[in-house]
Amino acid sequence: MHKTALLFAGQGAQTVGMGRGWAETFPSARAWFDRANAALGYDLTHICFAGPEAELTKTENAQPGIFLVSWVAFELLKEHVPGFEFAAAAGLSLGEFTALTAAGSLDFADGLRVVRQRGRFMQAACEATQGGMAAIIGLDEAATRDACTEAGVTLANLNCPGQIVISGAADRIGPACELARAKGAKRAIPLSVAGAYHSPLMASAQPKLQAELERITLSAPSVPVISNVTAQPHTTPAQIASRLIEQVTASVRWEESMRYLIAQGFTRFIELGPGTALSGFMKRIHKEAQLLTVADAASLEATVQALRQ
C-alpha cells in the first residue's frame, strides 16, 4: 500500500496553453478558471491559455497562473478518483502556497490573490535591484556553499543531488560560477530570470507579503505540509505565516524536504501542475519512488489509471 504525497510546481514551470485542454474538456475545470478570473479581477485564464509568453512569464502572472493550473489538476484528480486520499503535501517556492491550500490552510480565492500579490512584490524587488541566478551542476552542497561565500552570493534552491541554484547580485554571479567550476562543478549556467529570487535582494517583498497574509485566515493543515525553509512540517497558522514570509529570502531546501517524506514512509509522489521538474528531482533523490504527474489530459488519465489499480 503506497503512502502518497502531493508535490506542487514552482515558478519556471509555466508554459503557454497550460490548462486549456482541461477547460475545453471538463466543465468543472472551466468553472475554476472562471472563478479565478472573478477573484482576481482580470483575465488570468487567457494569459495561461494564449499568452503571449512574455506576459505569462512576468512574475505577477506566472505565479498565480501556476497556482491556478496546479489547483485545477488537484481538483480534477479528486473528481476522477472518488475517495482519493493523500497524507502529505509540499510545493516548490510558490507551490508551497498551493500545497497549503490543498491541505485546507488557505481558501482557494485567498491563496490565489496572495500569490498574485507575492508575484507583484517580488517583481518590484527584482526591478529595484540588479540580481541574477545560476544553476550549479555536479558540485556538492558544501563546495557550492563555499563558492557562494567567497563570491558574496547565496544558495537559493537545493533541488537534488548535483543540482543547486545560486542567487545574488548580478555582478557576483559570474565570479561565483567561475569559483564553482574551479571547485569541480561540471557546469555553472547563468539563468534567464528577472532577479535574485530566494536571496536577501528580495527582502523588500517581505513586509508587503506579511501585510497580505494578515488580511486572510490561515488554518492548521489537514495533513503535514513541508516548509521550504525548515524541510519540516508546518505547525500553527502563525508559524505558517512566518515561514511563508521567511521563504522569500531563504533557501528552498527541496532535497531535504523530500528526504524527510521518504523517511516518513512515503513511496508515491504525485506532481500537480505544469511541467515535470519535481519528478525529475525525485528520480535523483530516490529512484525507487513511484512518480505520477497531472500536467495535461494524457498524464491525468495515466495517473487515474495507476491509482485505480
CB 154 within 8 A of CB 251: yes
Strand partners, 252: 157
Is 46 assigned a catalytic role? Answer: no
What is the three-class DSSP state of 188?
strand
In angstroms, the CA 60 to CA 66 distance is: 11
- The Cα 35–Cα 289 span in angstroms is 35
**Catalytic member of 70, 93, 199, 227:** 93
d(CA 280, CA 291): 9
192 is catalytic: no
Q: What's the 3-state SS for 193-250?
A: CCCCCCCHHHCCHHHHHHHHHHCCCCCCCCCCEECCCCCCECCCHHHHHHHHHHHCCC
Catalytic residue among 70, 105, 167, 198: 198
Let me know how long the chain is. 309
With CA atoms as reference, report the closest residue to 11 among 60, 52, 44, 71: 60
Q: Which residues are catalytic?
A: 93, 198
